[in-house]
Amino acid sequence: MYRRCMKSSEKVRFVRNTFQGALFLHLYLTDLLQMRGRSMSCTSKCEFRSKYAEIFLNCGVRKQEMAFSKAQTQAIMHKDGPMMVLAGPGSGKTTVITHRVQYLTKEYGIDPGDILVITFTRAAAEEMRERYEALTGGGSRVTFGTFHSIFFRILKLAYRYTADNIVREEQQMQFVRELAQAGGLEPEDENEFAASILSEISSVKGERIALEHYYSKNCPDAVFRQLYAGYEEKMRRAGLIDFDDMMVLCLELFTERKDILSAWQRRYRYILIDEFQDINRLQYEIVRMLAKPEDNLFIVGDDDQSIYRFRGAKPEIMLGFERDYPGAGRILLDVNYRSTEEIVAPALRLIGENQKRFSKAIHTTGRHGKNVITKLWQDPGEENLAIAREIQLYLQSGVRPGDIAVLYRTNAGPRFLMEKLMEYNLPFRTRDTVPNLYEHWISRNILTYIRIAMGSRAREDILQVINRPKRYISRDAMPDETVSFEKMKAFYAEKDWIAERIESLEGDLRAIARMSPLAAVNYIRQGMGYDEYLIEYAAFRRMRPEELLETADELKESAAGFKTFDEWFAHIDAYKEELLRQAAQRRTETDAITLATMHSAKGLEFPIVYILDANEGITPHSRAMLDEDMEEERRLFYVAMTRAKTRLHVYAVRERYHKKAEVSRFVWEYLGRDGDSR
């Protein structure tokens, strides 16, 4: 490194001949400019930067490398020992990681085969590899991979596992569905139930929770434990492992076989981890073992962007890194190269409300733009219409559709917006599967009631709703493919109370047949007790009833726009066809408006961003009950805000489905105002 004791000629050779020297010069000149900055005129500063650039170019340093900030340069030049790099939104963390790997090999002479770079997705690993190879001009023996790919490589060599031993997602779903059926469970949506149970199984394994101490969020605890045990048994018999098993087996292997651990420690002497805030406890324990004894662990992440607690991610792991490694360095990449000052400042006000975080002073490159555009609309219909019209104006002014994104809290968020975009013939694509409202099990139940009222007697239709709400009517009472209510009543001739319920149902169906779509939905929900059924089902699934009732409210809102059932059903069919057409088009459409959940928007950026439905109960979500839940929701909103480069629209509504809606506390926080003062 550069030393004051160097002779002038040695200093010149050091700077000219090494990338290390050039980067050190960058640090030196940056400090010098900062010290003199206040007393220097604008002309003098420009002349200083011009000479500075000339020196760099003469040293063979590219303009990209000249543009490194002081913090980026320090991170790139780090060699040994643990280091935590706090990388805020748009701070160039990928550039730092790839250049640091290059620096390790080129300037420090580290064997590329000794370097391991871990990311969380295959796409991120591939992007990192491509960026690095573009930087170095070709292939390399540096290992880029996900946690799962690295852990599986270790298990493959130790236990001779093959790809056939890894369970497929559909197999996992099938296992849980079979177990639910065998246990007499009748979840309304089998796939949703299976996915939820699998998520909980993953949490138990990933967080190493004793099963007897785990409290399920989806069903009674005894039921969950039976499902867990049954799933593990099916996996064992099939000779399969899931992704969480990979981690558990790796930890056990390293704990029991110190010789194998030592071999892998020698194999990977330098470990870099991207998006460290998303790590779970089990992954962290394995990485800590792998990094010993040298502890050359270089972690890059942002605790303010930790948004995957439902997957086991623990921001407290990053917050405790310096406690685990007392000698660790800390570097803050404190420049946001993405967004304007008018976007960054309110986003920082928002995230500053979180208590458990690293305090960060984030700056911009000095670009300015419009303030965050915050608007309150009467209802979702008015909100969606405004967005469609505004996007239309943006496109007419020359903005590309691909430069615009609309973000929302859950994948059901854009249902009606999509209808409005279709109406305005605006091209869009979704990053998440947006469920068709009319195919949701609640909608199917209500629409089936209406079909029966219109004359259907298909056994499939009757079975779907006959005990929703509970009428205690057996399948045996409906032996034929076409159901007869008279035969059903005859079946219960000796049980008058059931026969009376069948007669009451017949009367309800005759009444529905004479109603408008809106009146029919209301009657099914209130007059026939369907809402009561939803409340009971929510209790079984340990859900808030509002999560189910809102879907029924959405269907009610849709029905209000039609006079007859035929008109409404024709719209439902046309909407389904349009969704299929849009899906096919989106596979080839490259320039389209992006619709994405806040989660799936992470890592992306757009010149113009809309945040939809910034209301209490939506964002923050109604499920956020604990302090840590609320902090996670605030981080999610922060991620959404910082996707915007130049324009950010945040929209809320006064009412949803004829009920008063409160503006999200996050809006008042980024505005710097007390929500009670509105």
**pLDDT tens across 160-193, in order?**
999 999 999 999 999 999 999 999 998 998 999 9
Provide mean pLDDT across the span 52-68.
52
Q: Is the dihedral of CA 220, 224, 225, 227 positive or negative?
A: positive
CB-CB contact of 453 with 509 (8 Å): yes
Mean pLDDT of the chain: 89
CB-CB contact of 548 with 534 (8 Å): yes
pLDDT of residue 22: 55
Smallest CA-to-CA distance from 65 within 135, 142, 137 is with 135
CB-CB contact of 305 with 639 (8 Å): yes
Smallest CA-to-CA distance from 278 within 298, 299, 308 is with 308
pLDDT of residue 433: 81
Smallest CA-to-CA distance from 99 within 183, 27, 19 is with 19
Q: What is the pLDDT of residues 477-497, one digit of tens each?
A: 999 999 999 999 999 999 999
Q: Return the structure tokens found at 455.
A: 């004359």
pLDDT of residue 42: 46
Provide mean pLDDT across the span 79-94.
95
* Band of pLDDT at residue 198, cut at 50, 70 and 90: very high
Separation of alpha carbons 327 and 81, rounded Å: 8
CB-CB contact of 146 with 122 (8 Å): yes
Q: What is the pLDDT of residues 572-592, one digit of tens each?
A: 998 888 888 777 766 666 799
Q: Return the structure tokens found at 275.
A: 């998006």
pLDDT of residue 225: 95
Q: What are phi and psi for residue 429, nearest 5 degrees?
A: -140, 150
Candidate ranges 18-32, 309-323, 334-348; pick with highest mean pLDDT: 334-348
Smallest CA-to-CA distance from 325 within 355, 299, 351 is with 299
Q: Return the structure tokens found at 593.
A: 């408006």
Angle in degrees, CA 404, 669, 626, rounded to 5 = 100
Smallest CA-to-CA distance from 298 within 271, 267, 268 is with 271
Q: Which residues, including other chains, have CB under 8 Å from residue 361's CB and lie 6 or more apart?
A: 332, 334
* Band of pLDDT at residue 25, cut at 50, 70 and 90: low
- For tokens 């009606």, the residue is 416
| pTM of the model as a whole | 0.85
Q: Which residues, including other chains, have CB under 8 Å from residue 523's CB and lie 6 or more apart?
A: 508, 511, 512, 515
Least confident interval from 41-55, 155-169, 462-476: 41-55
pLDDT of residue 435: 84
CB-CB contact of 596 with 604 (8 Å): yes
Return the amino acid letter for 6: M
Q: What is the pLDDT of residues 423-457, one digit of tens each?
A: 899 999 888 888 889 999 999 999 999 999 999 99
| Burial class (CB within 10 angstroms; exposed 0-12, middle 13-18, buried 19+) of 385 | middle
Separation of alpha carbons 451 and 601, rounded Å: 39
β-pair type (270-273, 297-301) = parallel
SS3 assignment, position 673: coil
